[in-house]
């Protein structure tokens, strides 16, 4: 980027000198072209700090990522769908957990996030993460193609939950697991503007997800999580 700025500055100097050589009263006819915008995610002197600053959800999900990974119990060779992958925080963790025999589908409806994930996996030489463009009502994966679906700080954003959860259930293999992390919402948070986008608390989410063809199997107590809870379902 510094080289581009220096070239732009040099071009401007040349234009000004040319104008002066033709007379002070003659205006400069051509302005230097503006610098192109940096590619999305091009910050990267410190990837850890950049990832933390870009995380759209709770800082708890970043700080407690190792504990969340442990509670998720991801086996080697598993096929995982990370729904609402965002910056790829958990997609990259899952990629290491499943190993070369597994695969992680990083799914998001925002193409810029997928571009960022592709950039990060290329930089880290990670070959088992596949970026997938989702839709508002469909995670766009084939039937029985994954063993685990992971949804962190995303469920409350679904506008058509019945349709998208049907696509989640269809994509899960028999006996597959659905892991959801979402915000706690109770009397102590009802007037918190930071929770305004959260539709319901743990009990409401569990009831709704079970109505979509899932069975609650575990509510792990994850160290470091207080504003966020974790629930795990099985495909009924």
Residues 126 and 171 in one domain: yes
Residues 134 and 20 in one domain: no
What pLDDT was estimated at residue 67?
97
What pLDDT was estimated at residue 194?
58
Is it the case that residue 2 has pLDDT exceeding 50?
no
Q: Tell me the C-alpha distance between 166 and 200, whole Å.
A: 20
Residues 192 and 82 in one domain: yes
Residues 26 and 143 in one domain: no
Residues 6+ apart with CB under 8 A from 42: none
Cα radius of gyration (the chain): 23
Mapped to the 3 state alphabet, what secondary structure does 105-142 carry?
EEEECCHHHHHHHHHHHHHCCCCCEEEEECECCECCCC
214, HSE (Cβ side, Cα atoms, 13 Å): 31
Residues 83 and 159 in one domain: yes
Residues 68 and 23 in one domain: no
**Average pLDDT of 206-220?**
97
Report whether 145 contacts 176 (CB < 8 A).
no
Is it the case that residue 128 has pLDDT exceeding 90?
yes
Q: What is the pLDDT of residues 48-66, one digit of tens each?
A: 444 555 554 468 899 999 9
Residue 195 included in any domain: yes
According to DSSP, residue 87 is labeled: T
Assign 190 a pLDDT band (cuts: 50, 70, 90).
Answer: low
Q: What is the pLDDT of residues 97-119, one digit of tens each?
A: 999 999 999 999 999 999 999 99
Whole-structure pTM value: 0.75
- Looking at the structure of the chain, the number of domains it has is 2
Residues 61 and 10 in one domain: no
Residue 180 included in any domain: yes
Residue 24 included in any domain: yes
Cβ burial 108-138 (10 Å sphere, 16+ → b, else e): beeeebbebbbbbbeeeebebbbbbebeebb
Is it the case that residue 221 has pLDDT exceeding 70?
yes
Report whether 213 contacts 169 (CB < 8 A).
yes
Which has more pLDDT, 124 or 25?
A: 124
Beta bridge partners of 150: 82, 179
**Look-up: residue for tokens 């040319």?**
18
Q: What distance separates the 2 farthest-apart alpha carbons in the chain?
A: 83
Residues 6+ apart with CB under 8 A from 235: 169, 172, 173, 174, 175, 176, 177, 178, 213, 214, 215
| Segments forming the whole domain that contains residue 2 | 1-36
**Average pLDDT of 126-146?**
97
Residues 171 and 222 in one domain: yes
Residue 41 included in any domain: no
Assign 236 a pLDDT band (cuts: 50, 70, 90).
Answer: confident
Residue 170 included in any domain: yes
Residue 42 included in any domain: no
Residue 53 included in any domain: yes
Is it the case that residue 223 has pLDDT exceeding 90?
yes
């Amino acid at each position: 980027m510094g080289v581009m700025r220096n070239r732009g500055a040099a071009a401007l100097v040349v234009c000004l000198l040319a104008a002066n050589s033709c007379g002070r009263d003659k205006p400069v006819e051509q302005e230097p072209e503006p610098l192109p915008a940096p590619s999305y995610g091009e910050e990267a002197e410190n990837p850890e700090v950049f990832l933390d600053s870009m995380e759209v959800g709770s800082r708890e999900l970043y700080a407690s990522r190792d504990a969340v990974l442990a509670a998720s119990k991801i086996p080697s060779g598993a096929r995982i769908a990370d729904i609402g992958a965002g910056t790829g925080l958990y997609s990259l963790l899952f990629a290491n957990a499943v190993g070369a025999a597994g695969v992680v589908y990083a799914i998001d409806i925002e193409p810029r996030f997928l571009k960022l994930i592709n950039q990060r996996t290329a930089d880290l030489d990670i070959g088992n993460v596949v970026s997938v463009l989702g839709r508002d009502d469909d995670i766009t994966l084939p039937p029985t193609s994954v063993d685990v679906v992971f949804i962190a700080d995303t469920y409350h954003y679904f506008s058509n939950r019945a349709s998208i959860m049907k696509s989640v259930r269809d994509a899960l293999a028999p006996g597959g697991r659905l892991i959801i992390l979402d915000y706690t919402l109770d009397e102590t948070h009802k007037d918190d503007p930071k929770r305004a986008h959260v539709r319901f608390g743990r009990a409401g989410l569990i009831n709704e997800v079970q109505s979509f063809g899932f069975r609650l199997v575990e509510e792990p107590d994850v160290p470091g999580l207080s504003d966020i809870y974790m629930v795990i379902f099985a495909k009924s």
